[in-house]
Structure 1
Amino acid sequence: MNLLEQLKKVTTVVADSGDVDSIKSLNPTDATTNPSLILQAAKLPQYQHIIVDAIEKSADNIDDICDQLIVNFGCEILKHIPGRISSEVDARLSFDEQGSIDKGRKLISLYQKRGIAKERVLIKLAATWQGIKAAEQLEKEGISCNLTLLFSMAQAIACAEAKVTLISPFVGRILDWYKKTENREFYGSEDPGVKSVTQIYNFYKEHNYKTVIMGASFRNINEITELAGCDLLTISPALLAELQSTQGNLLPKLSSNIDQTQSKQSEQTLDFSNFSWQHNEDAMAVELLSQGIRKFAADQCQLEQLIMTAFKLKQTN
């Protein structure tokens, strides 16, 4: 078997893409999107009809059109996967708890209008304190959440205490930061991104947290194979294809088979002050969280410009 076939036996494989055609060809269980991926897909000619449909369903409100577009792409992807789609809240709401709650509810409502049950959707939010608190409320309403841009143990603990469904720690971006900061290469299990996810995974299993972990943002297939056995891994189409074309033996590196009689609740209870201090002590996490929010917000603005251009063109025609 190739590496992808073996990986699917020990980990739920998720496609990290807005490109429906790529997803169709790789048969993942779930899929994730973000503003950057939706922007990339929206530029492709084969998906222009999805933009037109969003415009027609939303009159002339740019915010409504963007939300409808996200849902339209999600619905198209869901036709080709058996599991769930992650759809992201506007990054500009990352520090707005109520705004994030309202947006999450709205996206779920738009999916339900298309006949998609909320059980097939994960609302994706940045793992700021406000994003985590918004997710905590949405989870109480039966809306499952995926907390993204996660880089620190403080973020991971706060998410687990909030009982969110899933977290997405970013492996490759952590590697990028340490390579730049320390001016050297990292390999195998010494990859800082791999070490971060492994630490979180083991901590969650030790403390019997129900939140599951989905490693994300990979730079190479070695990072993926080092995390074989993780609950889920979300992988770009290019790396999925590389795994599919690579032969070899894949050994699970992570396992949830711990003695449950030894599990215990975390001794840490994070309020806003403790969370902020602990997160602030991790320079990498502080920098990458802020950087990620800015990047997703900038891509959201570009997406809005693309939609406005399409809207004006439609009016002209």
Structure 2
Amino acid sequence: MDETGINLLKYLRSKTQVDLDTFDITAGRLIHNPKPKAVGQFGQCVDCTSNQYEYYTELAKPSRKDILQRTIEVTAGLHGQFSEVTFDELGVEVGAVLLAAEMVPAFTGNLHLMVNPNYAYSRTKVVEAAKRFYRLFALINPSFPSSRLVIKVPATWEGLQACHDLQAFKIKTLGTTLFSMEQAILAGEAGCVSISPFVHSLRILVDPEYKDPHPAYYLSAQAQRWYRRQSLPTKVKSCSTVGVDELLELAGIDALTIVPDDLRALQSTYRDANEVSQMSIVRNGAQSDDKIEHVSYIDDEERYRADFEKADEGRAKAKTAEAIDIFCGYQSKAEDVVRKARGQ
């Protein structure tokens, strides 16, 4: 291994908060390996994020039969307290909480759990789902501080209005499936502690051969500059990147959610320091895209929907809907795993 130049993971951590994007316990154990020179070890991350893809893939693994069985047992004991949802839906949420508990040693900051994406267009249902996650954590893992729990909510009009409502319950939220400045502005007004702008369409998750012809390379930096100019505390956590170079291009953004394979690649790669520093579009990006008039959407649904409809020539709305649909598909798959495990 050529170790001339700067280590890419060390460099990225000097510019950006590095978050872990997985609920894979094997990756979590690797991060928390107590041996200082363990092969592939890349140290604790700050936050840990998850979604329905993680819940499904982990609960469906034959190697995770123990946690799936535990999920069934705990859900059976708690369903009477949460009769507003089906056993299988509650089971996915319980499974998420149990999986999260195993990941705690791998990160030092906040834990992100995603509400059922089928509720993306229901303000009331999102509020109920977020409050339910908080209750489940208090029942299943009471030692984990609620102050470290963040609920991921699809960045629809209804979802972000729910985030605004959840402030009254001191529930932290993140706006996800976000592809436009209109969504970013509304999320900031709604009080989201952070947003996750997607660089690429979520289609890359289900179709590795797909190449997004219109990636949102500059959205993260633009949103970050907007929040700072408006003195909003909302942070930007970029996601849905492809490869190491795109992560380096986003150096300087508030945070990056990174999958284990990319963490390994960063940890094992060295490059010329000057070359790497010149890659950042956050530091070197043009400022012309910041000439957005001051706008407020929080109390103006009609204007928000009209502006969002046109964002990126309509692609932002289409990508948001597509991402929500993909997550709904994994929600259904996860519920099927729970259903089959209990013999239904």
SS of alignment partner, residue 234 of structure 1: strand
Per-residue CA deviation, residues 174-218 of structure 1 (Å, 9 max, x unaligned), is: 897x95557xxxxxxxxx422121211222222222100000011
Q: Match for 1:268 among 271, 282, 295?
A: 295
For 1:47 and 1:180, the matched residues in 2 are separated by 33
Give percent identity, aligned residues only: 26
40 and 175 in structure 1: CA distance in 2 versus 1, 3 angstrom threshold: closer
- The code of the aligned residue for 1:117 comes to P
Match of 1:284 in 2: 315
For 1:20 and 1:12, the matched residues in 2 are separated by 21
For 1:48 and 1:231, the matched residues in 2 are separated by 37
- The code of the aligned residue for 2:111 comes to I
For 2:91 and 2:58, the matched residues in 1 are separated by 16
Report the Cα offset of residue 143 of structure 1. Answer: 1.0
Report the Cα offset of residue 272 of structure 1. Answer: 0.9
Report the Cα offset of residue 267 of structure 1. Answer: 2.3
Report the Cα offset of residue 266 of structure 1. Answer: 7.2
Match of 1:157 in 2: 185
Residue 68 of structure 2 is aligned to residue 51 of structure 1 = yes
Residue 50 of structure 2 is aligned to residue 33 of structure 1 = yes
Per-residue CA deviation, residues 208-266 of structure 1 (Å, 9 max, x unaligned), is: 221000000111111111111111100111111111111022426536xxxxxxxxx97
SS of alignment partner, residue 79 of structure 1: helix
Residue 89 of structure 2 is aligned to residue 66 of structure 1 = no
8 Å CA contact 1:227, 1:254 repeated in 2:
yes
Match of 1:189 in 2: none
Residue 126 of structure 2 is aligned to residue 103 of structure 1 = no
SS of alignment partner, residue 63 of structure 1: helix
- The code of the aligned residue for 1:286 comes to K
TM-score, with normalisation over the residues of structure 2? 0.80
Match of 1:148 in 2: 176
8 Å CA contact 1:207, 1:266 repeated in 2:
no
Q: Match for 2:252 among 217, 229, 246?
A: 229
For 2:28 and 2:134, the matched residues in 1 are separated by 22
Match of 2:117 in 1: 91
8 Å CA contact 2:127, 2:162 repeated in 1:
yes
CA RMSD of aligned residues (A): 2.1
- The code of the aligned residue for 1:5 comes to K
TM-score, with normalisation over the residues of structure 1? 0.87
Match of 1:312 in 2: 343
Per-residue CA deviation, residues 8-50 of structure 1 (Å, 9 max, x unaligned), is: 1221111111202213324211111000122112222332211
8 Å CA contact 1:84, 1:122 repeated in 2:
yes
For 1:9 and 1:112, the matched residues in 2 are separated by 35
**Structure 1 unaligned blocks of 5 or more:** 183-191, 256-264
For 2:213 and 2:47, the matched residues in 1 are separated by 34
Per-residue CA deviation, residues 138-157 of structure 1 (Å, 9 max, x unaligned), is: 12321111110000111000
Match of 1:294 in 2: 325
- The code of the aligned residue for 2:307 comes to Q
For 1:299 and 1:99, the matched residues in 2 are separated by 19
Match of 2:289 in 1: none
77 and 174 in structure 1: CA distance in 2 versus 1, 3 angstrom threshold: closer
Q: Match for 2:151 among 113, 116, 123?
A: 123
8 Å CA contact 1:174, 1:284 repeated in 2:
no
For 1:208 and 1:104, the matched residues in 2 are separated by 27
Match of 2:287 in 1: none
For 1:30 and 1:180, the matched residues in 2 are separated by 27
Match of 1:239 in 2: 262
Match of 1:259 in 2: none
For 1:179 and 1:298, the matched residues in 2 are separated by 21
- The code of the aligned residue for 2:325 comes to R
Aligned residues: 294
Match of 1:303 in 2: 334
SS of alignment partner, residue 230 of structure 1: coil
SS of alignment partner, residue 29 of structure 1: coil
For 1:208 and 1:125, the matched residues in 2 are separated by 23
